Amino acid sequence: MSSTTHHPDYTGVWLCLMGLMLASLAVGNLGLSAPVAAALIFLLAGVKALLVALYFMHLRFEQIALAGILLAPLALFAVLLLVLIPEFVSTAP
């Protein structure tokens, strides 16, 4: 049975993912301060996740509403962090 799914260049996406993974391993050797290195690593992770979501999961070619389904839990994840961090992370020693 065939569908009208658009199939992008999956191999290309896979190569990008591998590259990004190696890059995030290399960040540790760049001599950056811990917070900056962490931010960079998570940025790379975010790009990887976006690639998987947009191309492997086809969100790039689906209706926007489908991506919207994911936004709600992500927003709630942010809310949890926003409340739990002041609760548990104190700047005092």
Contact residues for another protein, defined by CB under 8 A: 1-3, 5, 7, 10-11, 13-14, 17-18, 21, 24-25, 27-28, 34, 37-38, 41-42, 44-45, 48-49, 52-53, 56-57, 62-63, 66, 69-70, 72-74, 76-77, 79-81, 83-90
Residue 12 sits at the vertex; the CA angle it makes with 62 and 67, to the nearest 5 degrees, is 20
Q: Which is nearer to another protein, 31 or 48 (CB)?
A: 48
The CB-of-78 to another protein minimum distance in angstroms stands at 9
Burial class of residue 55 in the structure, from the number of CB atoms within 10 Å of its CB (0-12 exposed, 13-18 middle, 19+ buried) = buried
Q: Which 8-state DSSP code applies to residue 52?
A: I
The CB-of-66 to another protein minimum distance in angstroms stands at 6
47: left (phi over 0), alpha (psi -120 to 50) or beta: alpha
